[in-house]
Structure 1
Amino acid sequence: MDVAVEQTIRERIEMEKARTAPPDDAIAVPLIPATRYTNPDFFELEMQQIFHRNWLFAGHESEWAEPGAYQLFTRSGAPIVIVRGQDNVLRAFYNSCRHRGAPVTRDVCGVAKRLTCQYHSWSYDTQGKLKAVPDSRSFVDLDTDDLALVPVRCEVWQGWVFVNEDSEADSLVNFLGPICEQMLDINGPGMRRVGRQIHRVEANWKLMVDAFLEVYHIRTVHPDNAALLYDDQSVTVSMLPNGHSRLTTEKREELRDFPMVSDQYDNPSVGLLWRQTSTSFGIFPNLVVPMDTGAFTFLSMWPVDQRTTELELNWFAPEWQGDEVPEEHLQRLELFDTVMAQDKANMAPIQASVESPGAQPFQIGWHERLIHHFQRAVDLSIGPDLLPAGTAVSTALDSYVER
């Protein structure tokens, strides 16, 4: 991480711990309409304008370990297949045969030289080109060059794979902006998958994202784990471009320099700041990455419907020897499960309350402003002119975005 950025974060931590009133530059955070979490029209706009038009996390490049390796990706609502070509390039296509629309693979993952439709056996190579058409004699003027699989944007940054259905979208690197430099310390190319956990939560996906953009709740919801480790009075946040964010909370003094990972599985590329704090990055629209020196997770909040979310935790760690996942990493997953159980128990009742006649616009504090920043990015991604009446958030915090 840039020395100046690290110094700024440390200075802000000290200022946060010392203050007894809102900072001089703080303003009252404008209200957030509760109907954003319940309006079915708003939800449909989110699915079309956000999840079909933004970069979505799909995995780590090591999961496509060899040419011909493929995986299905359906989280945006569209069937997509991501495949490593024989030229070693990762590409994505709609999983739809150009003949009559059947899937070119029904397997969740695998390795193949060809993707072959199981309806009429049209066959495509790993670069999406149509290679074989049974009974081609019956097709007049068949132009196979014009019948390749329909591509989907797929780009890799530091080993992390993202897809985007918007062919006109900015590049992944430009979209991520300063996060590209600030997350370099994790050494993405040297990572390997540890495991995956999926939790179904009866709450709107934005309520789930909101919960990971503040630590105000940890003394109440996580008194026996996170609250013991982190000083919530030290939290410092940054509103970054495109709805992204950074949140840093200092570890309590007595635990600040206590090693949380054994030397054997420690990530040597991680600097001192990340070791002495919990620093997480919010990547719009639905990804939160709490950095750590050992196994750590990419948390994705995937909407199922307007009141149901699948929270997907993809765990990674620095490369290790052998096929078996180290027990130390598995213990980290088990520990985090206790935190997730507390969050799950908290979220469903919140959704019920938000849906009740007594629900009022949310009054959040300055230390929770990343929530407003995220919600404002939702509005911008949908398009302000398309928002249902009474659902928009204010533009008042736009000038606080750190360019």
Structure 2
Amino acid sequence: MAFFKKPDAGSWTEHWPELGTAPVDYTDSVDPEHWLLEQQAIFKRTWLQMGRVELIPKKGNYVTRELPSAGAGVSIIIVNDGEQIRSFYNFCRHRGNKLVWTDFPGEEVSGTCRQFTCKYHAWRYSLKGDLTFIQQEGEFFDVDKADYGLVSVRCEVWEGFIFVNLDDDAAPLREYLGEFAEGLEGYPYHEMTEHYSYRSEINANWKLFIDAFTEFYHAPILHMKQAEKEEAEKLAKFGFEALAYDIKGDHSMVSSWGGMSPPKDINMVKPIEQILHSGLFGPWDRPDIDGIQVDELPPAINPGRHKSWGTDSFEFFPNFTLLFWAPGWYLTYNYWPTAVNKHIFEADLYFVPPKNLRERLSQELAAVTFKEYAFQDANTLEATQTQIGTRIVKDFPLCDQEILLRHLHMTAHQYVDRYKAELANGSQNGKHAATTDVKDAARV
């Protein structure tokens, strides 16, 4: 269950004693060897969110995704074959050329096709991944096309979100997402197809940005200039605290007040927000659809059913955030590490399509306001990375509100520790040693 507003005595952290209260070691955010272990132990074994089904709504629609987080050069194709969403590694079975790309092989692309054709020697593959054509097939030696289809990647869809997993032995997606997913089903995601997106390279470890978005301890200080003077002074004086926290296995959530849309006092917000009826919390005018009022929300959202509720943020390990706002829109974040001190941050905002110009401008203001807040966070993170990278100090104290930071770093460490234990037991690829023994015997 979620734990709600704490009494004067007690704390959030006491509900999860396994997390402890000691300072947290941040070596995991600066050690290059640890980062390489995270690639293998985490990003090659967990479910990774790729986007929504609206990206590829029709037969033949496809997108490619580059996944350096799972290893240098890893690239996949995600395609709608007319019956289901599939995913494949993005390389040709002939000589390993990248199969789908345009001018620059490192860039992600999208489009529509009837089949995939390699631009090197014109081998062709169906949307289901079957090899259908070999140029000058008669010159090959006993090649059976059935043996040379595209290498598939596990791909499943939950509530319109596309996930892939590079581990063929991983548990099914729905099982992995667990109780939080069950409690979020039924939200009108499919109604919110107006889409804004941001993508930026951040010079900081991927976990540091998740840290920033799972605590509100920083908000009254770092974002003070975004509020009107009187409101900013109140926040700085009294602080900001969440309504509820919850942890279920590898995943976590925080629920908070803050749905100031419209604000109680119009003078609390800036003139442009007054004119367009919008701001960080989203458009003030709720969309007229079912399933977004407080009493209609799925049970995991605003679990305490607080009247002052404003936003919930769900952290699906390792790198997918699903964030709901009271006015009736939602955000997703993804953090894709490319090095121990760099990652790609992706943010996607989803609204109900506007019916007029005012509604459109209202949504655009929300998107721009979000971007300003995100830049403030990102800039601070890069300063953090430069200093913890010196390793002058490695252990840092965390306050009671920073409980989800403890959980994130502990969870990531557990994945790495399990992987290291498997390697120590003689499994070269992180699977079972018996499998490796069989392969070695076959080579002999």
Establish whether residue 239 from structure 1 lines up as the match of residue 247 from structure 2.
Answer: yes
2:82 partner letter: Q
What is the Cα deviation at residue 224 of structure 1?
A: 3.6
2:348 partner letter: N
Alignment of 1:37-186 (within 5 A): 37-75=29-67, 76-77=70-71, 78-87=74-83, 89-107=84-102, 108-186=109-187
Gaps of at least 5 residues in structure 2 are: 103-108, 266-276, 295-300, 303-307, 422-444
1:379 partner letter: H
Instruction: Evaluate the alpha carbon distance shift between residue 294 and residue 138 of structure 1 in structure 2; reply closer, same or farther with a 3 A threshold.
Output: same
8 Å Cα contact 1:200/1:311 also seen in 2: yes
Instruction: Evaluate the alpha carbon distance shift between residue 139 and residue 329 of structure 1 in structure 2; reply closer, same or farther with a 3 A threshold.
Output: same
- Cα distance in structure 1, aligned partners of 2:352 and 2:134: 44
2:311 pairs, out of 278, 292, 295, with 278
1:83 partner letter: V
Q: Which digits, 9 at most, give the CA deviation of each residue in 1:77-119, with x for residues without a partner?
A: 41100000033x1000001111111122114010000001101
Equivalent residues, number: 374
Instruction: Evaluate the alpha carbon distance shift between residue 23 and residue 74 of structure 1 in structure 2; reply closer, same or farther with a 3 A threshold.
Output: closer
- Cα distance in structure 1, aligned partners of 2:177 and 2:27: 29
Compare 48-57 and 260-269 and name the one that shifted more.
260-269
1:114 partner letter: Q
Establish whether residue 36 from structure 1 lines up as the match of residue 43 from structure 2.
Answer: no
Establish whether residue 345 from structure 1 lines up as the match of residue 367 from structure 2.
Answer: no
Q: Which digits, 9 at most, give the CA deviation of each residue in 1:284-334, with x for residues without a partner?
A: 001222212444321111112111122110222235569xx9332222110
Compare 227-236 and 367-376 and name the one that shifted more.
227-236
User: Between the two proteins, what is the percent identity of the paired residues?
Assistant: 25
- Cα distance in structure 2, aligned partners of 1:23 and 1:239: 11
1:71 partner letter: V
8 Å Cα contact 2:13/2:400 also seen in 1: no
What is the Cα deviation at residue 188 of structure 1?
A: 2.5
- Cα distance in structure 1, aligned partners of 2:123 and 2:130: 11
8 Å Cα contact 1:160/1:188 also seen in 2: no
Tell me, what secondary structure is at the counterpart of 2:171? coil
2:402 partner letter: E
1:368 partner letter: E
- Cα distance in structure 2, aligned partners of 1:341 and 1:267: 32
Instruction: Evaluate the alpha carbon distance shift between residue 24 and residue 110 of structure 1 in structure 2; reply closer, same or farther with a 3 A threshold.
Output: closer
Tell me, what secondary structure is at the counterpart of 1:314? strand
1:329 pairs, out of 355, 358, 363, with 363
1:73 partner letter: R
Tell me, what secondary structure is at the counterpart of 1:298? strand
Tell me, what secondary structure is at the counterpart of 2:116? strand
**TM-score, length-scaled by structure 1:** 0.84
8 Å Cα contact 2:261/2:284 also seen in 1: no
Across the aligned residues of Structure 1 and Structure 2, the Cα RMSD in angstroms comes to 2.9
**TM-score, length-scaled by structure 2:** 0.77
8 Å Cα contact 1:257/1:276 also seen in 2: no
- Cα distance in structure 2, aligned partners of 1:257 and 1:93: 51
Alignment of 1:385-396 (within 5 A): 386=420
Establish whether residue 288 from structure 1 lines up as the match of residue 353 from structure 2.
Answer: no
1:182 partner letter: G
Establish whether residue 19 from structure 1 lines up as the match of residue 19 from structure 2.
Answer: no
Alignment of 1:253-272 (within 5 A): 260-263=282-285, 265=287, 268-272=290-294
- Cα distance in structure 2, aligned partners of 1:282 and 1:29: 21
1:247 partner letter: V
8 Å Cα contact 2:197/2:346 also seen in 1: yes
Instruction: Evaluate the alpha carbon distance shift between residue 306 and residue 66 of structure 1 in structure 2; reply closer, same or farther with a 3 A threshold.
Output: same
Tell me, what secondary structure is at the counterpart of 1:233? coil
Q: Which digits, 9 at most, give the CA deviation of each residue in 1:128-164, with x for residues without a partner?
A: 0011111011112211111110000111000011111
2:341 partner letter: R
Q: Which digits, 9 at most, give the CA deviation of each residue in 1:149-207, with x for residues without a partner?
A: 00001110000111110111111100110121222253223332512101222111111
- Cα distance in structure 1, aligned partners of 2:218 and 2:329: 24
1:52 partner letter: K
2:344 partner letter: E
Tell me, what secondary structure is at the counterpart of 2:22? coil
- Cα distance in structure 1, aligned partners of 2:375 and 2:82: 43
1:96 partner letter: F
- Cα distance in structure 2, aligned partners of 1:362 and 1:313: 28
- Bigger CA radius of gyration: 2
